[in-house]
């Protein structure tokens, strides 16, 4: 639970109050179940690599992880197959197109551009090993368990909602099968993709997951390793360049921290060797990222000079604030 009197906690409380009245943005209604959530939900959580938790708002509120799952499944594919095999199937180039675009799939390489947009994520998911759908799902859930540090499950209604309406994703999968980028188990890969997107998390879980990436792959709360440390660089690089879809360039310029958003309203950001940040607020901007989430991350980055190219100056300011006693 949050450490109420700590100066960083006070900063988070003020940030929460500052953006609570902001009601811009719209829910992701293209997944019918997501249109039913409460747009007022708002929480911020920051977890340090030494396991301290600062949070404000309802950090227990559960929601589906959506595209934030792409980061972790990409890490899992790397751990299972190594860089070269994964790179042969999914590139590492930002697209400049919306997350659900099919456009560049039909270009010369026939390879999805990166694992942070839907096409690339479906290709990544198709690489997950297992003798059948159940084993593949169980292995994936196990991977998430290491990052989250508790038992995890899939929200059945969101999964079914996406499964029955996700025709663009199906079209991408078939196109990628046509080009030999995924194997013939198209429906199995799509189900696994819809399931990973329907994983239930809360804001604190996301911050712990982000802090695990910040902590070279070791969950700071449990001490459990979730991913081999040498793949952290790969995961954070694609988050940095592609994690915010067709806003990724502006994000890198303005905020300068590897981050990933999802259409349920979650955002994670990773400050390597320091903290994992998570924000949850469902209304989205035109790119599909949480409006309040973007604002909170921008403010945190500005206040503590977290932009990658502000470091190490910001590093010491941030460390000092975090180290302060209440």
Using DSSP's 3-state secondary structure scheme, residue 296 falls into helix
On whether the CB atoms of residues 204 and 53 are closer than 8 A, the answer is yes
Let me know if 216 is a catalytic residue: no
Within residues 178-197, the interface with ligand GLN by CB under 6 A covers 197
Burial 30-60 (b: 16+ CB within 10 A, else e): ebebbeebeeebbbbbbbbbeebbbbbbebe
Q: Does 291 bind ligand GLN (CB under 6 A)?
A: no
Q: Is 142 exposed, middle or buried (0-12, 13-18, 19+ CB in 10 A)?
A: exposed
In the residue annotation, 193 being an active-site residue is answered as: yes
Minimum distance from residue 261 beta carbon to ligand GLN (Å): 7
Interface with ligand GLN, residue 118, by CB under 6 A: yes
Q: How far is the CB of 325 from ligand GLN (least distance, A)?
A: 39
Binding residue ranges for substrate:
67, 118, 162, 169, 193, 245, 263
**Number of residues binding to ligand GLN, judged by CB under 6 A:** 11
The two tokens of residue 104 are: 């560049």
Query: Of 56, 92, 117, 263, which is the active-site residue?
Result: 263
Residue 139 vs 287, nearer CB to ligand GLN? 287
245 is catalytic: yes
Dihedrals phi, psi of 199, to nearest 5 degrees: -65, 135
Which of helix, strand or coil describes residue 13? helix
- Considering only residues 198 to 257 of the shown chain, the ones binding ligand GLN according to CB under 6 A are none
Cβ proximity to ligand GLN: between 8 and 188 the closer is 188
Q: In this chain, which of 9, 67, 114, 219 binds ligand GLN, going by CB under 6 A?
A: 67
CA distance 31 to 238: 26
Residue closer to ligand GLN (CB basis): 67 or 126: 67
Cβ closest to ligand GLN, residue 189 vs residue 263? 263
Q: Is 263 a catalytic residue?
A: yes
Question: Which CB, 66 or 124, lies closer to ligand GLN?
Answer: 66
Q: How far is the CB of 203 from ligand GLN (least distance, A)?
A: 16
Q: Is 67 a catalytic residue?
A: yes
Long-range contacts of 243-247 (CB under 8 A, 24+ apart): 243/71, 243/116, 244/287, 244/289, 245/95, 245/97, 245/98, 245/99, 245/116, 245/117, 245/287, 245/288, 245/289, 246/95, 246/96, 246/97, 246/98, 246/99, 246/287, 247/285, 247/287, 247/289
In the sheet where 266-271 sits, what is the strand order?
53-57, 43-48, 275-280, 266-271, 259-261
Give me the least distance between CB of 254 and ligand GLN, in Å please.
20
Active-site residue among 74, 193, 231, 240? 193
Query: Binding to ligand GLN by residue 100, rule CB under 6 A?
Result: yes
What residues are labeled active site? Answer: 67, 70, 193, 245, 263
Residues that bind ligand GLN (CB under 6 A): 66-67, 99-100, 118, 162, 169, 197, 262-263, 288
């Amino acid at each position: 639970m949050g450490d109420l009197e700590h100066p960083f906690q006070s900063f988070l409380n003020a940030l929460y109050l500052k953006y609570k009245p902001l009601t811009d943005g719209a829910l992701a209604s293209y997944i019918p179940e997501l249109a039913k959530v409460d747009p007022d939900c708002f929480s911020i959580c920051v977890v340090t690599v030494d396991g301290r938790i600062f949070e404000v708002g309802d950090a227990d509120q559960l929601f589906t992880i959506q595209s934030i799952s792409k980061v972790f499944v990409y890490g899992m594919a790397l751990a299972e197959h190594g860089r070269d095999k994964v790179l042969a199937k999914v590139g590492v180039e930002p697209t400049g197109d919306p997350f659900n675009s099919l456009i560049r799939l039909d270009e010369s390489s026939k390879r999805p551009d990166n694992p942070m947009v839907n096409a690339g994520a479906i290709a990544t998911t198709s690489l997950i090993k297992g003798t059948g759908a159940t084993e593949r799902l169980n292995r994936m859930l196990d991977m998430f368990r290491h990052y989250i540090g508790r038992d995890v499950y899939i929200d059945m209604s969101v999964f079914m909602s996406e499964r029955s309406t996700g025709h663009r994703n199906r079209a991408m999968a078939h196109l990628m099968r046509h080009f030999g980028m995924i194997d013939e188990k198209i429906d199995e890969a799509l189900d696994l993709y819809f399931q990973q997107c329907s994983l239930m998390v809360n804001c604190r879980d996301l911050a712990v997951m982000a802090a695990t990436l910040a902590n070279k792959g070791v969950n700071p709360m449990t001490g459990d390793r979730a991913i081999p440390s040498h793949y952290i660089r790969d995961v954070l690089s694609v988050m940095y360049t592609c994690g915010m879809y067709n806003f990724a360039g502006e994000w890198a310029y303005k905020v300068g921290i590897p981050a990933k958003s999802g259409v349920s309203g979650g955002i994670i950001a990773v400050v390597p060797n320091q903290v994992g940040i998570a924000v949850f607020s469902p209304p989205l901007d035109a790119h599909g990222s949480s409006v309040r989430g973007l604002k909170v991350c921008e403010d945190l980055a500005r206040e503590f000079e977290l932009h990658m190219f502000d470091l190490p100056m910001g590093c010491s300011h941030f460390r000092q604030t975090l180290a302060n006693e209440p």
